[in-house]
A = this chain, B = another copy of it.
Amino acid sequence: MSVGLAIGGGGRETEDFVKNFILPLFKLKSLGGVGLEDMEDGASVPLGGGRHLIISVDSYTVSPPFFPGGDIGRLAATGSLNDVAVMGAEPKAFMDAVVVEEGFKLSDLRKIIRSMADVANSLGVALIGGDTKVMPKGSIDKIVITTVGIGIAEEPLLTLDRAEPGDKILVTGPVGDHGAVILALQFGLQVKTLKSDVRPVWPAIKALREALGEDLKAAKDPTRGGLAMALNELAERSGTTVYVEEARIPMREAVKEYADMLGVEPLALASEGQAMVVVKGDRAEEALEALRKAGFEEAAVIGEVRKGRPGYVVSKTPVGGLRLLEKPSGELVPRIC
């Protein structure tokens, strides 16, 4: 038995791997807050008084490291800070661990580090530590960056189990841009009409918290596994049925075209600058307005949380039929993030 690509795909196999392979070996899996078993984007260290330090770690292996709309540095800094933001935490600091291949161009490395700095500086986030390793030529393909996002959150944390029947589900903008761009590049296509959406989602979460308070229930950034995975996790963790209308899910034409051309489920394509959020049903319009004011102008209500068989995502297709939207399975694209 050997490691297959799907274990790293962020879909069903990744989840199974963590549940069956990792969880049983560790005696302690949380510090009394959000921990490993919660399968959230970040973990929490309760600080007392309703405050939590939120920490997230992710390794970024994206290939190619430079792509329309960004590079691995922008992606790595943004990604872990987004994981912290969707827990409800204001990003405060991050750390990076860079593993780079001997012979990598120093000017490219500088661009990548500058991209990380741009993200941090724009958010007022401090780089408080890090690590650099070089692997001999041929032992790693160019560069892998691991980042640790650190933020502070006031309760309630925006965990998916807070969603209840009657809540509305929104996305902050068009989904799948990042995944489609990397997929197309990996298949050797020219990418001219689309770029990665990589950007911090904290401004969206902040605006929603200010506008809705505790009626902002939950948030998640639909990265690996895309919105399809995020919706399924929402349904599972909240023990509800999630209902979405595909015609209401914002998606660029170019993303649809690439997905069609390459034969993949577009809703499984990763976004790196959008959040899926759950709000109390009667606050959905206010949420949309707050998002638009914060610059997320293509935000949309895409569905709702319903009573029903727990853990199922029912999707109304553009032509009006219903389908079960399942967790993505298999590895669509390795090294997408």
Contact = CB atoms under 8 A, between A and B. Distances in A.
Nearest to A117: B25
B3 A56 contact: no
Interface of chain A, main secondary structure: mixed
A190 interface: no
A2 interface: yes
A128 B31 contact: yes
A187 interface: no
A22 B102 contact: no
Contacts of A101: 3
Contacts of A29: 126-128
A30 interface: yes
Contacts of A43: 93, 95, 128-129
User: Chain A: interface residue count, which band?
Assistant: 35 or more
A299 B210 CA distance: 56
A34 B93 CA distance: 12
Interface string A22-43: 1001111111001110001011
Interface string A213-240: 0000000000000000000000000000
Interface string A302-313: 000000000000
A61 B135 contact: yes
Interface in A1-51: 1-9, 14, 17-18, 21-22, 25-31, 34-36, 40, 42-45, 47
B132 A36 contact: no
A99 B334 contact: no
A105 interface: yes
A53 interface: yes
B97 A132 contact: no
Interface stretch (A107-115, A194-202, A241-249, A250-258): A107-115
Nearest to A129: B43
A63 B140 CA distance: 12
A58 interface: yes
Nearest to A141: B139
Contacts of A113: 21-22, 25
Given A29-B126, A31-B93, A140-B144, 4 more contacts: A3-B105, A21-B110, A30-B126, A57-B129
21 contacts: A1-B107, A2-B103, A3-B102, A7-B100, A7-B134, A8-B132, A14-B132, A22-B130, A30-B128, A31-B93, A35-B126, A43-B95, A55-B55, A57-B96, A61-B133, A61-B135, A97-B146, A133-B335, A135-B141, A144-B144, A146-B146
7 A-B pairs with the lowest CB-CB distances in the bound complex, closest first: A8-B134, A28-B126, A43-B128, A25-B117, A139-B141, A43-B129, A146-B146
